[in-house]
C-alpha cells in the first residue's frame, strides 16, 4: 500500500467523489478551494492505493511542524480491513518529525450518530492519537482535537487554518 500525491484529473475525480460521499455538507470545504490550495503548496491531496486500486483519500493542511489531517476517508468496501490504520502508519512515516492533528465530531454531545462517532474516536486512540484539552466549533460543528505527537494549543491549531486556507476561514472556528 502507498500514499501518492493526487495530480491527474482521473484520480482527483475519484477523490472528489469519495470526499462528497464521506463528509457531511456542513463539514466540506469547496473542493475547488482545496485544489487551489494544493497548487499554492499549502494543502496536500493524497490517495491511498495498492496495485492500482484506489482505497481512500487524505487531505492535509500544513503549517511548519503541524499537519492537519483535514479529511481522511476509506472507501466503504475496504473499511474494517486495517487499511485505515496502515494508511496512518504510512502518513506517520512520511512526516516522521511532524505533529499530525485530527478533528473528530464530538462524542461529548448527544447525536443521532453517537455510536459511529465513538467508533471513530476509538480508532484514532488505538492508532496513537491523544485527546487535546480543547474543543472547537468548526462551521457550527463541535469537534474534538487529537494529535499523534506533541500537544498543541488553540492558537497553533488556528494557525494551521490561517496559513493553509487564509484569514476568511478562521472566522468560522471558535474555541469551546
What's 44's domain CATH number?
A: 3.40.630.30
Extended strands (E) in 22-162: 43-50, 53-63, 66-74, 99-105, 130-138, 141-147
pLDDT digits (tens, 9 = 90+) for 127-145: 999 999 999 999 899 999 9
pLDDT at 145: 98
Taking the C-alpha atoms of residue 83 and residue 49, their distance in angstroms, rounded to an integer, is: 10
**What values do phi and psi take at 74, rounded to 5?**
-115, 135
The range of the structural domain enclosing residue 87 comes to 2-175
pLDDT at 10: 94
- Report DSSP letters for 61-91, one per residue: EEETTEEEEEEEEE-GGGTTSSHHHHHHHHH
| pLDDT averages per 10-residue partition of the chain, 176 residues | 94 97 92 96 96 96 96 96 97 96 94 91 97 95 96 96 92 93
Cell of 33: 478551494
Helix (H) / strand (E) containing 173 = strand 173-175
Number of domains, the chain? 1
Amino acid at each position: 500500500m502507498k500514499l501518492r500525491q493526487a495530480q491527474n484529473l482521473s484520480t482527483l475525480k475519484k477523490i472528489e467523489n469519495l470526499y462528497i460521499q464521506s463528509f457531511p455538507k456542513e463539514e466540506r470545504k469547496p473542493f475547488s478551494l482545496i485544489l487551489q490550495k494544493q497548487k499554492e503548496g499549502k494543502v496536500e491531496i493524497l490517495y491511498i492505493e495498492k496495485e492500482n486500486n484506489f482505497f481512500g483519500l487524505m487531505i492535509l493542511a500544513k503549517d511548519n511542524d503541524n499537519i492537519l489531517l483535514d479529511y481522511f476517508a476509506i472507501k466503504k468496501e475496504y473499511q474494517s480491513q486495517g487499511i485505515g490504520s496502515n494508511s496512518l502508519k504510512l502518513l506517520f512515516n512520511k512526516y516522521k518529525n511532524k505533529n499530525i492533528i485530527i478533528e473528530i465530531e464530538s462524542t461529548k454531545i448527544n447525536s443521532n450518530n453517537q455510536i459511529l462517532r465513538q467508533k471513530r474516536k476509538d480508532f484514532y486512540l488505538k492508532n496513537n492519537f491523544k485527546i487535546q484539552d480543547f474543543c472547537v466549533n468548526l462551521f457550527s460543528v463541535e469537534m474534538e482535537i487529537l494529535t499523534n505527537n506533541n500537544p498543541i494549543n488553540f492558537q497553533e491549531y488556528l494557525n494551521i487554518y490561517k496559513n493553509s486556507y487564509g484569514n476568511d476561514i478562521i472566522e468560522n472556528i471558535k474555541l469551546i
